[in-house]
Chain A
Amino acid sequence: MSAGKILVIDDDPQIRRVMRSTLTAHGYQVNDARSGEEGLQELRESGYDLVLLDMNMPGMGGMEACRLIRSGSDIAIIMLTVNNSEGQKVDALDAGADDYVTKPFSTPELLARIRASLRRLPQLPGHADLQPLAAQGVNIDLSSREVTVHGRTSRLTAREFGLLTYFLTRPNKTIAHRELLQAVWGPDYGDELEYLRVFVNRLRKKIEPDPSKPLFLVTDAWAGYRFHLPQ
């Protein structure tokens, strides 16, 4: 029984070799691709749970590949890059990545990130909790992870869905950044404020009637975020 199916997209053969060997040893089913184009083709042909995507590749490059994968799928994406700058992290998350690991990384750290990305999130909100949302023209289908706002439907990624359900089960309460990061990303997280900023923006684009003036997902400056649920 496999822990999950992972596609490694990296132009460096040594990295593909070591990833294949390491991940297989840890119970994952692994396949690899040498470029963004090849990776997209592979993803179209068979189903995967997670993509490890190198940022710097010849051809379309990791960022563009990430955008294309995300436009057609809600698969978990972890980007690998040598650049540790905050700007590039935000760009990667904006492009649709769920997480970001800087090269060179240690294997235990990468495995922890992969586990966190594949983690199934418990605690689905009850349908009664969603009633006030429906009244505002927002419908959330918990089984298919689909959100419909005034007739416009979008699908949530697993991480976005995890973040949203965490909010929905704790309405009208300010949740601190650290609590959100540890609950949704995992216990190893806590200071990655850029993750929250990007994911909250991504959620707003999908659930808010006007993302620039959020009705539900409000920021409590310096403290955290709050899900405003009209009573």
Chain B
Amino acid sequence: MIAAARRKEHVLDKPDRLASARKSFRLALRVGASLAFIAATTFILFRVVPVNATTAGFLFLVAILLIATKGGLVESTIASVAAMLCFNFFFLPPIGTFTIADPQNWIALFAFLATSLTASQLSAHAKRRAVEAEDRRGEVERLYALSRALLLIDHSQPVAKQIIQQIALSCEISEVALYVRSTGELNRLGLAAGDIDPKLRDAAVRSAVFKDDGTNLIVTPIRLGGEPIGSIALTGSALSDAALQSLLNLVAIGLERATSQKAVTQAEVARQSEELKSTLLDAIAHEFKTPLTSIKAVTTDLLSGTPDSLQPHQREMISIADESTDRLSKLVTDAIQLARIEGGTFRLNLGIHFPSTLVNAALRQMKSMIEERKIDVIVPDGLPPVRVDSGLIQIVLTHLLDNALKYSPPDNPITIGARLGEGKVILYLTDKGQGIGETEQAQIFEKFYRGKNERHLQGTGMGLAIAREIVRAHGEDIALTSTPGKGSEFSFGLPIAPGAISQ
């Protein structure tokens, strides 16, 4: 008990006066009791069952040992001195005096005193260890309870608040406050905000420990991997330094776990919303394209008949319906592509492809539109393969081609080609149109932007925006060089496939 009281005194340098008085009173009581025990022993040995000096000496030692095991060092030391005096007075000749006749008895008396003092010391020491061990066990139990509680924390509720409640509960601390640096969140239990908040922030920022012995307050940073991630304030904690450190580690892990849990949850929510968006876009595409399919099947069937199967007027009418169907279909495709790209619901399906394959595939897809135009294709042999999403690059090329077809005179040739750049293959498309003025050059990649002089042309205004987003997703960008009156060149790089040998 004394050991525990002492340890507490170490922590509480200015203990409460009342508690201190109570402690002194208890100590006086225990000293009195041990003195009474020695007196009783003396009386029994001297009056009730008289024994010789040797036996009396041993029995006094037994009494001292009993006192030492039950009590503390103070009472057993006082009892040792008292027993020595009684032994001398009542049992060592000349009896009834404190003088000693035989010099040998002096030795016996000091041997008795030394033995009883040593026994007191040892016993008190063992007892102190036992009390300490008991305290440690208590701390470990509390920390275990806390760690279990932190593991079972409900992550859908505010985590910091639950942590301080669990600390208060498992460590029997009434006043706790926790500051989480990443969120700036402050949670208090029984502590005044104005007082503690600046100290908590200070501890977390400067990574310094603050101790106020007057109010028995400790404010200490919570570190994870050396970095302070927050701070905690505790009042009246009976925890040892080691236990406090463990508690801090537990809180650090608890906070970190909450953060990562939150990140996982957010990623999951984002993924689900992406999936939902993607499914929605698929459904919209399907709903729009299904009726268009019926119309297209009808118009193309009618138009594919023999030349005299339709009157010229009818053929013209059906051609208009057919072209409008194509236009509407392209509008739906572009709108969905743009929504998909902007909504971040597309993934690059990277594969290794030859530039010639990419260019040919785009030309093939645009076959019906380029039949009457002169297209020069310049793709040198021996260009290395590139690592791209071929489907998406095909979309880029068709949008660029579509753009060139629309904005350059029908008689002027269009060139589509590829050349070797630094670590990449550059695809380019040039037209001999009117060119694009400097101010317009930046604007044409904007969504829904239509050329100033070309408003009469059919288009969705989405093609170049889509093309640029796709190229950017490949880590490149579309470059535009244009000379008004002469024409324009759109070009973009594509990464050469790793391991491919450039020639």
Chain A contact residues, CB within 8 Å of chain B:
12, 14-15, 17-19, 22, 25, 56, 80, 82-87, 103-110, 191, 193, 222
What's the nearest-Cβ distance from chain A to residue B390, in Å? 7
Chain B contacts for A19, CB-based, 8 A: 297
Complex alpha-carbon distance, A218 and B391, angstroms: 26
Whether B104 is near chain A, meaning CB under 8 Å from some CB there, is no
Given contacts A106-B300, A108-B300, A191-B361, contact A83 B294 (CB under 8 A): no
Q: Which chain B residue has the least Cβ–Cβ distance from A17?
A: B294
Asked if B304 and A86 sit within 8 Å, CB to CB, the answer is no
By a CB distance below 8 angstroms, the chain A residues around B349 are: 85-87
Please name all residues of chain B whose beta carbon is closer than 8 Å to the beta carbon of A85 when the two chains form the complex. 349, 391
CA distance A83 to B364 in the complex (A): 18
A18/B294 in contact, CB under 8 A:
yes
Residue interface bits B107-149, CB-to-A below 8 A is 1, else 0 = 0000000000000000000000000000000000000000000
Min CB distance A26 to B, Å, is 9
**Pairs A–B under 8 Å by Cβ, sample size 12:** A12-B293, A14-B291, A15-B294, A22-B301, A82-B290, A82-B293, A83-B285, A84-B333, A86-B349, A103-B292, A104-B293, A104-B296
B361-A104 in contact (CB<8A): no
Q: Whole-angstrom distance between the alpha carbons of A104 and B304 in the complex?
A: 16
Say yes or no: A105 contacts B304, CB within 8 Å: no
Partner of B296, one of A17, A25, A83, A106: A106
Which of B290, B301, B364, B390 has a CB less than 8 Å from the CB of A15?
B290
CB distance from A81 to the nearest CB of B (A): 9
B36 contacts the other chain (CB 8 A): no
Once A12-B290, A12-B294, A83-B282 are accepted as A-B contacts, the answer to whether A104 and B325 lie under 8 Å apart by CB is yes
Are B297 and A105 closer than 8 Å at their CB atoms?
Answer: yes
Residue B298 CB within 8 A of the other chain: yes
Within 8 Å CB of B333, what residues of A? 84
Contacts of B301 in A (CB 8 A): 18, 22, 25, 107
| The residue from B289, B298, B364 contacting A191, defined by CB atoms under 8 A apart | B364
A interface footprint on B278-312 (CB within 8 Å = 1, 0 otherwise): 00001001100111111111101100100000000
A108–B300 Cα distance when bound, in Å, is 7
Question: Is the pair B391, A15 in contact by a Cβ cutoff of 8 Å?
Answer: no
Q: Could you say which residues of chain A place their CB within 8 Å of the CB of B289?
A: 82, 103-104
Contacts of B296 in A (CB 8 A): 104-106
CB neighbours of B354 from chain A (8 A):
222
- A129–B296 Cα distance when bound, in Å, is 47
Q: Which of A86, A104, A108, A191 contacts B292 (CB under 8 A)? A: A104
In the complex, which residues 244-295 of chain B have their Cβ closer than 8 Å to any Cβ of chain A?
282, 285-286, 289-295
> Is there an interface contact between A15 and B297, defined as CB atoms closer than 8 Å?
yes
Contacts of A84 in B (CB 8 A): 333, 391
Chain A residue nearest in CB terms to B289: A82
Within the complex, the shortest CB–CB distance from B503 to chain A, in Å, comes to: 13
Contact of B293 among A83, A103, A222 (CB under 8 A): A103
Minimum C-beta distance from B64 to chain A (A): 89
Closest residue of chain A to B301 (Cβ to Cβ) is A107
Residue of A87, A103, A110 with highest tally of chain B CB at under 10 A? A103
Expressed in whole angstroms, the minimum distance between the Cβ of B346 and any Cβ of chain A is 9
**CB neighbours of B300 from chain A (8 A):** 106-109
Chain B residue with the shortest CB-CB distance to A103: B293
**B54 on the A face (CB < 8 A):** no
Of the listed residues B293, B295, B298, B391, the one surrounded by the most CB atoms of chain A closer than 10 A to its CB is: B293
B363 closest partner in A (C-beta)? A191
Q: Which of A80, A104, A110, A193 is the one whose CB lies under 8 Å from B295?
A: A104
